[in-house]
Amino acid sequence: MSSHLDIESINFLKMFWVALTHRVTFFSAWRLFASAMTEFFIPQFTTKFRLSKRPVVSVDHPLDETIPFRPEYVHTYLDFYPFWIRCAYFLYKEFGNETLPDIRDFMYNVAELYYEAGKIYRRCQSTTKRPRYLKTAKFKLLHAVDPHVHCVPSLHVLLVVSNYMNVWRLIGKFSTGNGERYKTQKELVYNKAVEITESILFMKQHSVNCIPAALYFMTMLRDEFTQEEALSFIDDLFASKDGAPENAGEIKDFIRSQYLAMLHTDVPQGGSHNDVLVDFLSRFQPAAGYTQEPGQRS
């Protein structure tokens, strides 16, 4: 069986067909759709149109001003969702129907990330200064479907980190001792996770504050995403000198220090890691146009 299916060239819509035409994956696909709508999209639009009242804070940091806005990263940024779906289809094509229960769990895993992130969004939403750049169809689409009040935790970071861990694990499970044959694919999904994480800063969709918050959240949710794994991921950001901000080292030092600070923050008695992130958000000022104070519940 070939291990050379090009993940980047896969039409991600093929995975939708697989998921919706197999009993094993049908319900997980619908649960994923429902979670994305109820936990990510609908709460943002109810806030945008003032149909609900939630605190919204601005999580910008002075370091954000040192990172240039680079609209050419729009494709990388928008690929965060199609990419994990292409990865799931890659696993299906490589290893066959026996992967379907794991692909079902893969989708449940993504749905869980939406649900867990939603616990934060319901208590406090967050935003950044985003340029109103509408010169291409992709930017027009982005501004139309994303009201931009769910910055912490970043689902981009959560999904791409979860994706590379899932792909690595499932390749190990199904390659029956031949995992080295898939070294190129494993490197691709990891490097793509790094690139997409970098893109959220270049696109001004997130702040440097958003990355450590998401990595902390992932460490709390996934035992396999250890402190060592998170710090290694941070080290790999902007590793390529081409296009990296001049102060890439300073940016990574900040992300690293914020992640470790969150990791060593005591969780309130009877509370959870969610309280650590909500407390983090409560330190920021309310975003312009939103009146409710951080920390209030709707």
Radius of gyration of the chain (CA): 19
pLDDT tens per residue across span 140-149 = 999 999 999 9
Q: Return the pLDDT at 176.
A: 83
Spatial distance between the Cα atoms of 285 and 266, rounded to a whole number of angstroms:
23
* Residue 162 to residue 167: CA distance in whole angstroms: 9
Listed in sequence order, the residues at least 6 apart from 232 whose beta carbon sits closer than 8 Å to its beta carbon are: none
Residue with structure tokens 């980047």?
A: 8
Q: What is this structure's pTM? A: 0.94
150 backbone dihedrals φ, ψ, rounded to 5° = -125, 65
Q: Which contacts (CB < 8 Å, 24+ apart) does range 244-251 have?
A: 245/66, 245/67, 245/68, 246/66, 247/63, 247/66, 250/63, 251/63, 251/66, 251/67, 251/201, 251/208
* pLDDT(5) > 50: yes
Q: Residue 40 above 80 pLDDT?
A: yes
Q: Residue 191: is its pLDDT beyond 70?
A: yes
Q: Given a cut of 90, is residue 226 above it in pLDDT?
A: yes
Q: To which H or E segment does residue 125 belong? A: strand 125-127
Give me the mean pLDDT over the 197-202 stretch: 98
In angstroms, the CA 101 to CA 119 distance is: 27
pLDDT at 27 over 60: yes
User: For 191-212, what is the mean pLDDT?
Assistant: 98
SS3 at position 241: coil
Q: For the chain, give the mean pLDDT.
A: 93
Q: Please, which pLDDT band fits residue 291 given cuts at 50, 70 and 90?
A: low
Q: For the segment 153-169, what is each residue's pLDDT rounded down to a tens digit?
A: 999 999 999 999 999 99
User: What confidence category does residue 296 fall into, taking pLDDT thresholds of 50, 70 and 90?
Assistant: very low
Structure confidence by residue, pLDDT tens digits, 237-266: 999 877 899 999 999 999 999 999 999 999
Dist CA 153 CA 151 (whole Å): 6
For 127, phi then psi, to 5°, come to: -145, 175
Average pLDDT (192-211) is 98
pLDDT at 4: 65
